[in-house]
Chain A
Amino acid sequence: MKEIFFPKRMWRSRGELKRRYDVVIVGGGSHGLATAYYLAKEHGAKSVCILEKSYIGSGASGRNTTIVRSNYRTPEGAAFYGESVRLYERLSKELDFNLMFSQRGHLTLAHSDRALVVMQERAEVNKLLGIKSSVVGPREIAALCPELDLSDRPTWPVLGALFHPPGGIIRHDAVVWAFARAADRRGVDIHPYTEVTGFQQSNGRVTVVETNRGRIECGQVVSATAGWSTLVGDLAGVRLPITTHILQAFVTEPLKPFLDVVIVSSQLHVYVSQTDRGEFLIGAEIEPYTTYKGTGTLSFLETSARHSLELFPQLERTKLLRTWTGLCDLSPDYSPILGKTEVDNFHVSTGWGTYGFKAAPIVGVTLAELVATGKTPELIAPFALERFHTDTLVSELAAAAVSH
């Protein structure tokens, strides 16, 4: 609060690279920064740095649609994301930075009875794990979101929804900055505009991280580079089951509060929320082809505008203001890949598809524990890279399509 009157630096300005760090974290997004923060806070790590090729939060952390939820299909996923939401709920206070976590409720719409069954399954799994989640009918939807077109007019009328009260939106940049500030204050060196160009290894371990600003000796390495994790993995000789795709979103001009809940439709491949600034934030599904080129497509704008209007015809004269894209790492089972790899001290956080931002705090907590203790926490054991070698997947596919 007093920083309102006496501005204070959020973090130190970029310093020189040290010759050695115990832990080198590649990627200055929410995952990397959270891992650094919890390493310093929970495990007293003194020698940690973040290497970010651009500015902090420049990748997926700053390009997602800010939705947070935990109503996953698999027990493994629901337990994991459930813990993430619980951490997020306490995070503003812990980091003394208002992340504006707005738990206004999250509705995933069903337009077919098949979709209702999948929701029923998610609701049942969630309830057993203590996550608030239930299937609701049109009448309850109308009470939660009177603005939604629940008539028979749309091609795909709404039949029901999965209601998840703790779901909501959060200010994504604030999460990045708050973790960065907290990590910085605990001695983590954040190096923006520092790109990793290679790793030197000996005896199956990474010993040196090479960057465009020089080399660093390292104890352990964490790669949290959504979009580019294949390339960083390649540098370390770690092959990943990942393809890279673009995800797009747009916002409209700001309007007075209109929509309180977060609305998602898998059938229409669209999700809609209204930010605290008043903009409608609308996103869709990833493009089907792999690409590293972050330009958007007109057909995305057309299709998601059309589908948004099926849900909210009132928005037809609302103006689209700004569009953007981000890169997503897609895993074969739509669950993340988290933890150890076959290179002994090289750990990954990847395969997040479109769900990574929701998991930032719990990724930080669990990866920090792994790095500090060498043991994989139980919560993330199911998400090990090894599952693709042993063919024991954790499939969120049935719940996927679009489930933001």
Chain B
Amino acid sequence: MSFVLACPHCGPRPVDEFAYSGEVTRRPQSSPTLRELTDYVYFRDNVAGRQREWWQHRQGCGEWFLAERDTRTNEIISVSLPKPGT
């Protein structure tokens, strides 16, 4: 068990209940160059610091949400529900 993550609906739960889906990326809008595409598919900021990332409360309510976490300390700064289409 590692750090505790607060699900927007269920509250604080051990991180093992959640699925992690990586840092928030920007999908190219239309027919990107190969370079733009591979940058989106493979390359990551991988910051040591505050990172916006996707989580799903897989073992609980099932919601996908966004968290802002400091990757140096695993401190969760905030969680929020996604605003689709943005």
Contact = CB atoms under 8 A, between A and B. Distances in A.
Direct contact of A and B (CB under 8 A): yes
A242 interface: yes
A293 B74 contact: yes
Contacts of A230: 44-48
B22 interface: yes
B59 interface: no
B20 A240 contact: no
Interface size class of A (residues with CB under 8 A): 20 to 34
A293 B71 contact: yes
Contacts, number: 69
Interface string A219-256: 00000000010110000000111111000000000000
Given A289-B20, A290-B22, A293-B71, A231 B48 contact: yes
| Residue among B37, B46, B51, B74 with max Cβ neighbours from chain A (10 Å) | B46
Contacts of B16: 299
B38 A389 contact: yes
A388 interface: yes
Interface residues of B, number: 28
| Residue among B34, B38, B72 with max Cβ neighbours from chain A (10 Å) | B38
A242 B46 contact: yes
Contacts of B23: 290
B2 to A, nearest CB: 4
Contacts of A242: 44, 46
When A and B form their complex, which 8 residue pairs have the shortest distance between CB atoms, in order from nearest? A241-B42, A297-B2, A289-B20, A230-B46, A299-B1, A388-B42, A292-B48, A298-B1
8 contacts: A230-B45, A241-B43, A289-B53, A290-B46, A290-B71, A292-B72, A299-B16, A391-B38
